[in-house]
Structure formats: structure tokens, C-alpha cells
């Protein structure tokens, strides 16, 4: 990767890691669906502006929008809501570590539902190693009331895994990645509007403070609109495999922000679990091991 690609990668990890921080700021003050609607609604507006500036056509056709609706549920509504619910009980750093299991779930989902991404021995080892890391993190918390929140994060990561497989169809449909991002957030916004009105009733809530409003804007525009633009730009210039590396970096930025600004702390078992998940991801990725093997042979 070029220096510009590495800059995109690090910036993207900070923006997506920042999403856990922004949720941590907002979650004590606003109900979950309201937070998620603010993210996808403002994010969709930002992405619409990007489409207009770049002159990328808006998706058209009933079949396309049906597929985008499924994508909005799998990639936005389910995981965003579960992470917001979970962060009412656990730290943003721990939530981000559990989010890093997304590629592990993605490998399993792809094996079941695709023909060209089957499990290999290395992937099996990587997945097992990663889930050992999850067990290390969760094992001691089974009786402390946070296990459901951690399970919610894992379910959110699983939903991302399904979204990754479902999203493969948009390339065949001729829909650009940025247009896909707009379509899924737009549909998610429309689905969430009645839920927010019926369940959260935001007009009955106290006026949020400036820090909460700033967090919602950051969550939508930085961690959604700009992050999508950087991510798809990184895929175009460096490839999807290199973009995969962002998974390793998100917990670092999320944990640092949580410790620095939210007074959070990570336990040793969380760090040990993060190390095992990172090891499992590196085995699945394979490049580090190929380089080490090549260096050993030389």
C-alpha cells in the first residue's frame, strides 16, 4: 500500500473507532432507536450530498431497492441498535473488541452461503483462535450481568457478517459502493422513523446538551458519511484485502478514546482476548504468516 493508503487506513480506523466513543457519549442521554436514526438519517443526507458532488447516479429499480432494504437491516439497523444497547452496560473499548469478530463471522457465513469462499485449514484455525479470545473475555463475566451486552455485540458482528455476503450482489447489479451506502442508510432511516415515534417518542425527552448533539453529528458525518467515502476509496486504491486491516486498528482507537475521555478501563482478560482475536484475524488474512515463512526459507 502507498503512504496515502496507509493514511486512509489509519484515519478510517479512528473514525470507526470513534463511533463507539460517540455512542458512549450519547447513550446515557438518549434512547437507542433515536441514536441510530440520527446516525443513519444524517449519514444518508451526507452521502446524498457526496453522490451529487461526484455525479454518481442514485440507485433505481424495485429489485435494487429491495436488496438495499435487506442491506439496511443487516448492516445498519440490527448492528447499530445492538451496539447502542450493549454500550449501556459495557465500555466502548470492549464493544469495539467484540466488533472485531466480524471477519470471523464473515468467514463462517461465506462458507455456508457462497461457493467461492470456502473454509480452508488456515481459516478454521483462525476462526477457532478468535473465538477462544471471545471465550477468554466473556468467561469471567457470566455472573456479572454484562454477558447479555457482550452477546449483543457478537450478534451485531454476526449481522455484519451476513451483510458482507449479501452486499456482494450490488457489484453484479452495477450499483457503486457509495450509492449502496446511501441506499442502505436511506432505507434504514425510513424503517426507523415509525419505531422512534412509537417507542422512543423523542419529543417527550429533555433537550440534549451540546456534547450529545456534537456526538450525534460526529457519529453521522464522521463515522458514517466520511468513513464510507474513505473505505470505498481505500478498496478502490488498495483492494478489499488491504482494507480488511482496519479491523485490527478500530479497537485501538476506540479503547484510547474511551480511556482518555470517558474514564473507561479494560481488564487484563479483555486485552488477552483482543490479542487472540487479532491473532485469529492474522491467520485468516495469511499475509503475515506468508512473509514469515518466506523470511525463514531465505
The tally of domains found in the chain comes to 1
Residue 85 lies in a domain: yes
Residue 296 predicted with pLDDT over 60: no
Neighbours of 290 (CB within 10 A): 10
Give me the domain span that covers residue 246: 3-291
Residue 297 lies in a domain: no
Residue 188 lies in a domain: yes
Question: Which residue in the block uniquely carries the three cell numbers 466480524?
Answer: 102
Name the more confident of 292 and 217: 217
Sorted by sequence, the CB contacts under 8 Å of residue 71 that are 6+ apart come out as: 163, 166, 167, 170, 180, 183, 184, 187
pLDDT tier at 24, thresholds 50, 70, 90: very high
- Reported pTM: 0.90
Residue 296 lies in a domain: no
CA distance 45 to 37: 12
Residues 34-54 as b/e (b if ≥16 CB within 10 A, e otherwise) read: bbbbbbbbbbbbbbbebbeee
Longest dimension (CA), the chain: 68
CB 232 within 8 A of CB 184: no
Considering 57-66, 114-123, 244-253, 286-295, the range whose residues carry the highest mean pLDDT is 57-66
Name the more confident of 287 and 78: 78
CA distance 101 to 127: 9
Residue 239 lies in a domain: yes
Q: What is the pLDDT of residues 202-220, one digit of tens each?
A: 999 999 999 999 999 999 9
Proportion of the chain above pLDDT 70, given as a percent: 92
CA distance 115 to 266: 40
Neighbours of 13 (CB within 10 A): 22
Residue 298 lies in a domain: no
Helix (H, G, I), strand (E, B), or coil: what is residue 60? Answer: coil
CA distance 32 to 90: 15
CA distance 104 to 124: 9
Considering 3-17, 200-214, 277-291, the range whose residues carry the highest mean pLDDT is 200-214
Residue 128 predicted with pLDDT over 70: yes
Alpha-carbon distances, residue 297 vs 11, 284, 290 (angstroms)? 35, 21, 11
Name the more confident of 144 and 248: 248
Amino acid at each position: 500500500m502507498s503512504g496515502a493508503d496507509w493514511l486512509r487506513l489509519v484515519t478510517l480506523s479512528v473514525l470507526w473507532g470513534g463511533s463507539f466513543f460517540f455512542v458512549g457519549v450519547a447513550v446515557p442521554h438518549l434512547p437507542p432507536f433515536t441514536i441510530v436514526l440520527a446516525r443513519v438519517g444524517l449519514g444518508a443526507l451526507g452521502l446524498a450530498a457526496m453522490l451529487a458532488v461526484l455525479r454518481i447516479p442514485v440507485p433505481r429499480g424495485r429489485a435494487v431497492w429491495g436488496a438495499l432494504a435487506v442491506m439496511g437491516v443487516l448492516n445498519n439497523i440490527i448492528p447499530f441498535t445492538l451496539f447502542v444497547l450493549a454500550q449501556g452496560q459495557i465500555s466502548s473499548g470492549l464493544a469495539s473488541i467484540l466488533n472485531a469478530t466480524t471477519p470471523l463471522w464473515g468467514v463462517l457465513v461465506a462458507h455456508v452461503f457462497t461457493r467461492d469462499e470456502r473454509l480452508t485449514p488456515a481459516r478454521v484455525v483462525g476462526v477457532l483462535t478468535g473465538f477462544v479470545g471471545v471465550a477468554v473475555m466473556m468467561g469471567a463475566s457470566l455472573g456479572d450481568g454484562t454477558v447479555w451486552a457482550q452477546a449483543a455485540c457478537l450478534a451485531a458482528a454476526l449481522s455484519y457478517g451476513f451483510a458482507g455476503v449479501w452486499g456482494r450482489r450490488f457489484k453484479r447489479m452495477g450499483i457503486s459502493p457509495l450509492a449502496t451506502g446511501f441506499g442502505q442508510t436511506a432505507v434504514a432511516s425510513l424503517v426507523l422513523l415509525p419505531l422512534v415515534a412509537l417507542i422512543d417518542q423523542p419529543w417527550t425527552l429533555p433537550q440534549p446538551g451540546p456534547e450529545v448533539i456534537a456526538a450525534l453529528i460526529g457519529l453521522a458525518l464522521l463515522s458514517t458519511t466520511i468513513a464510507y467515502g474513505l473505505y470505498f476509496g481505500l478498496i478502490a486504491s488498495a483492494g478489499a484485502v488491504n482494507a480488511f486491516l482496519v479491523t485490527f486498528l478500530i479497537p485501538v482507537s476506540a479503547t484510547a478514546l474511551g480511556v482518555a475521555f470517558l474514564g473507561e478501563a479494560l481488564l487484563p482478560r479483555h486485552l488477552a482476548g483482543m490479542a487472540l482475536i487479532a491473532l485469529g484475524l492474522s491467520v485468516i488474512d495469511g499475509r503475515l504468516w506468508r512473509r514469515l515463512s518466506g523470511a525463514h526459507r531465505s
